[in-house]
Amino acid sequence: MATFAVIMASSIKTLLLTPPFTQLNTPYPATAYLTGYLRTIGVPVNQADLGIEVILKLFSAYGLTKLFDRVNPKRLSKNEQRIVNLKNDYLTTIDSVISFLQNQNPTLAYSIAERDYLPEAGRFNQLDDLEWAFGNLGIQDKARHLATLYLEDLADLIKQAVDPYFGFSRYAERLSLSAESFDPLYESLSDVPSFTDEILFTCLDRKIKDSKPKLVCLSVPFPGNMYGAMRCGQYIKRHHPDVKVAMGGGYPNTELRSLRDPRLFEFVDFITLDDGERPVEVLLRHIEGKVNKSELKRTFLLEDDVVTYINGSKELDVPFSQTGTPDYEGLPLNQYLSVIEITNPMHRLWSDGRWNKLTMAHGCYWKKCTFCDISLDYIKNYEPISASIICDRMEDQINQTGETGFHFVDEAAPPALMREVAIEILKRKLKVTWWTNIRFEKRFTSDLCRLLKASGCIAVSGGLEVASDRLLEKIKKGVTVGQVAQVADNFTQSGIMVHAYLMYGFPTQTAQETIDSLEMVRQLFELGVIQSGFWHQFAMTAHSPVGLSPESFGAKALLTKKPVFAHNDIPHDDPDGADHGLFSDGLKKSLFNYMHGVCFDFSLQEWFDFEVPQTSIPAHQIEVDLQNNPGTQITESTKLAWIHEQPRVSYYNKKQKGKLLEKSRFEIDTKSATYEATFTKREGQWLNEIFQDLLGNQSPMLFGELRQAYEASEMVDFDKFIKSQSWQKLRQIGLLLV
């Protein structure tokens, strides 16, 4: 549509805010995504992460002075009293520690690691196990972990003394998590603002005065952001009544789809659902008076004191390819904190370092898992974009942020698109580091995993879920335990870390299946197939097939009435299953040990304080599965990829049994070594042309084209050639079939 930019542009100044709290190490990307789009259509927009701003103001000499002045020592536990007694030590170290965690003061690590620089309280009691849990940490990592414990000590004081809801990433989460009624949250918002709230208001007011918006959009990705969002809305309504307030994000998208409580609109004017680009764009034109209320898109508002949902817009959502590159301008990228909280290696990636966030494909290409919200737009509307656009966005973000690390936040990145992205990264010679979420697809062959590694992939996370083939089929995961083991091993052998999401408590899961799942997990870790994992108990969500029809899965929903506020997690009973909660501690304790390479010889019974059945899984089941790995399946449409520089080719003569043979030598320099492979002169000349084509062509060669080129050169027996030792050596070095 030629007039797109003219029609869509708006002069309404807009401020996008992420309320407290999400992550300390990197901005949550929602506002950056929306900022990138709104700027492409001419909307004057600013953005801010109030979470990191509140943290930095609170955890400073200024903030801690205010905190200690507010504390009533008579109401403190012995541990928090110790912190108050050491307040001068905290006041003189806090600014330096924050600077260190911002990677601006690295030499402080030596003082911190010596354990005579930081004041220590209750969180440091766990340090007896530090060396066992973390191994021989480098000075920087050890210091960051100690500094993290130091901040957590202070957080404990804040929580007990001045703000019971405080948490670094789950602020007042219990008020919003599966809250059928708005009452608890509403009552908390009626209380006198807390110490943290006062700091939030200071940061918010400065943003309002600096940007002078007509619309403030609050992005609420998690339950732990909802209280902060409501406090922001409350403050704006009281002090800037001419400013309109909208809310969107993951929490409204999943929890508030059946909202009926009008009191929420004392804090906001609009709530938009699902992808925000078009709803916000239409909302801006409505505020300008260019669009009637009836033409809003996926928007809740209050009409005659009744919560009303309007979706009258005829405009389609913005295609994912046209949403623009996430724009981080306005976010303090050099002020985020790299912390080391726990020993789980994948969780460390989440909290350590500053990652650019991107998405390869909107939605999920599989969208069948019965525990997943496949009825909602963020899952069901699958829309990939080209590898070229993805790499363009990567380069744009590198230029803007200076960071070369990427976290692709896909629900499950598609293998075929990952292949194309990896090829494009190598073609452009981008030096990047990246990780993402996957399904354990059999298409992740050894060759594809090696290609992904060569392009900079360092880790993947995927759902093994319940390690039981019966339950995986019931979940419609589309994989078996054996397939997961084979795929995970392909990643591991290529040097890519594997994290497994593990589930227990799916409806009808028996105690036997839980113990058998644990045995599968034990074997996977013992064989080094996976390096990281996390157990979580199954939660029935309202928008999943299980939640929409619990009885079909052998469960019984326990909702007594339709919620008027949040509606996502559904309490339920599992008449035919085990008492799942009993297994929680044992599963998590065993996994913690397996991740550290110990206790594989323990009986599974030792992890539980109640009688559990013997496992029925053979002791070498995973080992057998790995031996049956089918390897790379080659078809005529399989693509060729070479992951090193152009080989050096020379020709020579060799006498053998009285005959003079014309030979060719290929010398291949990798980053760590130089290899040789020899062919006949004719094969070498042909192969040299193939390498030039592989490295210079815009589109990869197909295996069928390779066969045709071989036969066109009038050489015979292509099948014999690709079985030769020299060809197999090239394959081992880096000639990949993907």
Within 10 angstroms of residue 312's Cβ, the number of other Cβ atoms is: 13
Dist CA 280 CA 246 (whole Å): 9
Tokens (6 digits) for 620: 């070498």
Do the beta carbons of residue 27 and residue 333 sit within 8 Å? yes
Same domain, 443 and 582: yes
List, for residues 323-374, the tens digit of each pLDDT value.
999 999 999 999 999 988 766 777 777 777 789 999 999 999 999 999 999 9
- Which whole number is the average pLDDT over 101-116? 93
Whole-number pLDDT of residue 415: 97
Structural domain includes residue 63: no
Distance CA 497, CA 733 (A): 21
> ∠ CA 236-165-238 to the nearest 5 degrees?
15
pLDDT of residue 348: 76
Tell me the three state secondary structure of residue 700: coil
pLDDT at 403: 94
| Count of the separate structural domains present in the chain | 4
**709 assigned to some structural domain:** yes
Residues 314 and 349 in one domain: no
The angle formed by the CA atoms of residues 698, 702 and 708, to the nearest 5 degrees, is 115
Average pLDDT on 150-164 reads 94
Tell me the pLDDT tens digit for each residue of 202-249.
Answer: 999 999 999 999 999 999 999 999 999 999 999 999 999 999 999 999
Q: Are residues 175 and 301 in the same domain?
A: yes
Asked, for residue 447, whether it belongs to a domain, the answer is yes
Burial (CB < 10 A; 0-12, 13-18, 19+), residue 264, is buried
Q: Provide the pLDDT for residue 5.
A: 39
Q: Is residue 634 part of a domain?
A: no
Question: For the segment 4-59, what is each residue's pLDDT rounded down to a tens digit?
Answer: 433 456 789 999 999 999 889 999 999 999 999 999 999 999 999 999 999 999 99
Q: What angle do CA 279, 283, 284 make, to 5 degrees?
A: 120
In angstroms, the CA 450 to CA 98 distance is 38
Least-confidence region, from 104-113, 167-176, 667-676: 167-176
Taking only the tens place, the pLDDT of each residue in 550-597 is: 999 999 998 777 788 888 888 999 999 999 999 999 999 999 999 989
pLDDT number for residue 135: 55
Give residue 180's pLDDT. Answer: 76
CATH number, domain with residue 399: 3.20.20
**Residue 190 reports pLDDT greater than 60:** yes
| Three-state secondary structure call for residue 219 | strand
Q: What is the CA radius of gyration of the chain?
A: 29
Q: What is the predicted pLDDT for the residue at 4?
A: 40
Task: Report d(CA 113, CA 278) in Å as an integer.
Answer: 50
Residue partners of 368: CB distance under 8 A and separation at least 6 = 374, 476, 478
Residue pair 319/361 in contact (Cβ under 8 Å)? The answer is: no
DSSP 64-106: HHHHHHH--GGG--HHHHHHHHTHHHHHHHHHHHHHHHTTS-T
> Is the pLDDT score of 292 beyond 80?
yes
Residue 3's pLDDT band (cuts 50, 70, 90): very low
CA–CA dist 519, 513 (Å, integer): 10
The residue to which tokens 């350590």 are assigned: 352
Structure tokens at 482: 């054996």
For residues 246 and 101, state if they share a domain.
no
Cβ pair 633, 607 in contact under 8 A: no
Clarify whether residues 46 and 184 are in a common domain.
Answer: yes
Alpha-carbon distances of 673 from 492, 644, 668, 670, 733, rounded to whole Å: 21, 12, 8, 5, 10
328: in domain: no
pLDDT tens for each residue of 434-448: 999 999 999 999 999
Helices (H) and strands (E) in the chain, counts: 30, 22
507, 555 contact by CB (below 8 A): yes
Query: Structural domain of residue 619, as residue ranges?
Result: 344-625
In the chain, pLDDT over 70 holds for what percent of residues?
95
Residues 175 and 86 in one domain: no
User: What's the chain's average pLDDT?
Assistant: 92
Q: What is the pLDDT of residue 176?
A: 64
One domain for residues 238 and 143: no
CB atoms within 10 A of CB 621: 17
Whether the per-residue pLDDT at 126 is higher than 90: the answer is no
End position of a domain, from candidates 161, 187, 218: 161
SS3 648: strand
Write down the pTM of the prediction. Answer: 0.92
Residue 477 lies in a domain: yes
Residue 511 has, within 13 A of its CA and on its CB side, a CA count of: 14
The number of residues making up the chain comes to 738
- Residue 74 is predicted with a pLDDT of 81
Each residue's pLDDT tens digit, 296-313: 999 999 999 999 999 999
- 56-81 in b/e form (b: 16+ CB < 10 A) is bbbbeeebbebbbeebeeeebeeebb
Same domain membership, residue 489 and residue 373: yes
Question: Is the model's pLDDT at 175 over the cut of 70?
Answer: no
Which of 165-179, 303-317, 430-444, 635-649 is the least confident region?
A: 165-179
pLDDT score of 129: 60
**pLDDT category, 136, cuts 50, 70, 90?**
low
Residue 2: predicted pLDDT: 34
What pLDDT score does 130 carry? 58
**Average pLDDT of the segment spanning 709-714:** 90
pLDDT band of residue 606 (cuts 50, 70, 90) is very high
Does residue 128 sit in the same domain as residue 210?
no
- Residue 384: in which H helix or E strand, if any? strand 383-384
333 part of a folded domain: no
* Structure token digits, residue 53: 């701003």
Residue 43 maps to a domain: yes
Do 501 and 567 sit in the same domain of this protein?
A: yes
Please tell me the distance from the alpha carbon of residue 17 to that of residue 32, in angstroms, as a whole number: 10
Arithmetic mean of pLDDT, 407-428: 96
CATH number for 286: 3.40.50.280
Q: How far are the Cα atoms of 202, 468, 481 from residue 582, in angstroms, in the given order?
A: 46, 19, 24
At 670 the pLDDT is: 93
- Residues 527 and 649 grouped into a single domain: no
Of 139, 161, 183, the residue at which a domain comes to its end is 161
Tokens 């969002």 locate to: 229
DSSP at 182: S
Question: Could you give the CA distance from residue 505 to residue 539 in angstroms, rounded to a whole number?
Answer: 8
Structure tokens at 243: 């400013």
Whether 473 and 387 share a structural domain: yes
Place of tokens 């996976």: 530
What average pLDDT does this structure show over 463-473?
94
Contacts of 95 (CB under 8 A, 6+ apart): 60, 61
Mean of pLDDT values over 92-98:
98
- What integer pLDDT is reported at residue 7 of this predicted model? 47
End-to-end CA distance of the chain: 38
